[in-house]
């Protein structure tokens, strides 16, 4: 049984799998199931709100503020200072990368959630384990419950928007205003609507389980326990509201919105960006500006003010080297859809 001591869940998450014993216990009206070192579910005797929530962190080992936030939340639940009204799955993901304070060991874990992986290394094993944990959690809940998944990260580079969320695309149209309003309530600076499939953890939950899902970028990377957690108090408050409140926020302003127009993919080892690798997230470009080259192919900005997000030329061939997006103003009384656009038939 985990204690309510802050840091206890982090210590458990970093335990070697062979030294871990699964455990279940009760505290008040809550049943805890600690199924793996960094995976714990919390089930109320009676869910007072018809939603279930996954909060994940540590998918990249050097992104530590989300890990601390999840740990503190669990400590408050175990001490009964905070009692959720919904089923909850908490995840601290990549223990080996966390201990090494590195993004990943061999493969980017957040590109491995497209389905079952041949378990060639630690990341492939972890992706399978986490997909199974999420699937089992959602399967244990009533079908009429709204499913949510927020995958918490920290950015590895500076950004014109210090905190922002990326909502993954889905195969069918779905109004994502509830998620966008939640991010706005959490004082996130921007929301980015993706337009193409990408095997991230939040994409997995959205596409395989119909969850309202988002990847949240919380500030900048820092060593474990060296984050200024005061920066994340609005997000912590909003997440606790998601776990407790019958009604959720609906306001979308003043948050900025962007829609992804293209994905920069590294097709060969000759891929190169034309701007400095230190460029901030949301750096804008003039229409016609040369952005990247790849074995003779030239990639230009197609829209005035097109911005780049997550630029990184040092990825594996075939992987995403950045997103290109344009700002837009949502119509607040109309649905906001984030599914991949369908080509009109001839």
Is residue 60 annotated as involved in ligand binding? yes
Which entry of 68, 123, 217, 306 is annotated as an active-site residue? 217
For 58, phi then psi, to 5°, come to 70, 20
Decide if 217 is catalytic.
yes
Is residue 123 annotated as involved in ligand binding? no
Residues placed in the known binding site for Zn(2+): 60, 63, 153
Residues comprising the binding site?
60, 63, 153
Residues annotated catalytic, as ranges: 217
């Amino acid at each position: 049984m985990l204690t309510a001591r802050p840091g206890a869940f982090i210590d458990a998450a970093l335990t070697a799998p062979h030294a871990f014993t699964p455990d279940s216990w009760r505290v008040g009206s809550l049943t805890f199931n600690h199924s793996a070192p960094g995976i714990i579910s919390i089930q109320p005797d009676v869910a007072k709100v018809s939603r279930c929530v996954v909060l994940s962190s540590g998918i990249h080992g050097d992104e530590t503020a989300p890990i601390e936030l999840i740990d503190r939340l669990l400590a408050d639940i175990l001490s009964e200072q905070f009692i959720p009204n919904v089923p909850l799955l908490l995840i601290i993901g990549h223990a080996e990368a966390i201990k090494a304070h590195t993004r990943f060991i061999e493969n980017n874990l957040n590109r491995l959630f497209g389905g079952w992986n041949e378990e060639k290394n630690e990341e492939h094993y972890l992706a399978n384990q986490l997909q199974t944990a999420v699937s089992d959690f959602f399967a244990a809940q009533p079908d009429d419950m709204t499913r949510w998944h927020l995958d918490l990260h920290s950015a590895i580079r500076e950004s014109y928007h210090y905190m922002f969320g990326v909502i993954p695309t889905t195969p069918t149209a779905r109004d994502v205003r509830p998620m966008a309003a939640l991010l706005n309530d959490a004082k996130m600076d921007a929301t980015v609507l993706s337009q193409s499939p990408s095997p991230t953890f939040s994409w997995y939950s959205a596409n395989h389980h119909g969850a309202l899902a988002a990847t949240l970028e919380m500030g900048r990377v820092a060593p474990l326990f060296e984050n200024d957690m005061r920066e994340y108090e609005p997000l912590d408050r909003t997440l606790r509201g998601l776990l407790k409140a019958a009604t959720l926020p609906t306001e979308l302003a003043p948050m900025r919105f962007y829609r992804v127009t293209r994905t920069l993919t590294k097709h060969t080892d000759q891929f190169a960006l034309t701007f400095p690798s230190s460029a901030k997230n949301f750096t804008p470009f003039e229409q016609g500006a040369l952005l990247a080259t790849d074995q003779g192919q030239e990639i230009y900005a197609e829209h005035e003010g097109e911005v780049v997000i997550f630029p990184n030329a040092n990825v594996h061939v075939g992987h995403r080297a950045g997103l290109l997006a344009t700002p837009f103003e949502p119509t607040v009384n109309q649905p906001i859809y984030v599914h991949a656009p369908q080509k009109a038939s001839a």
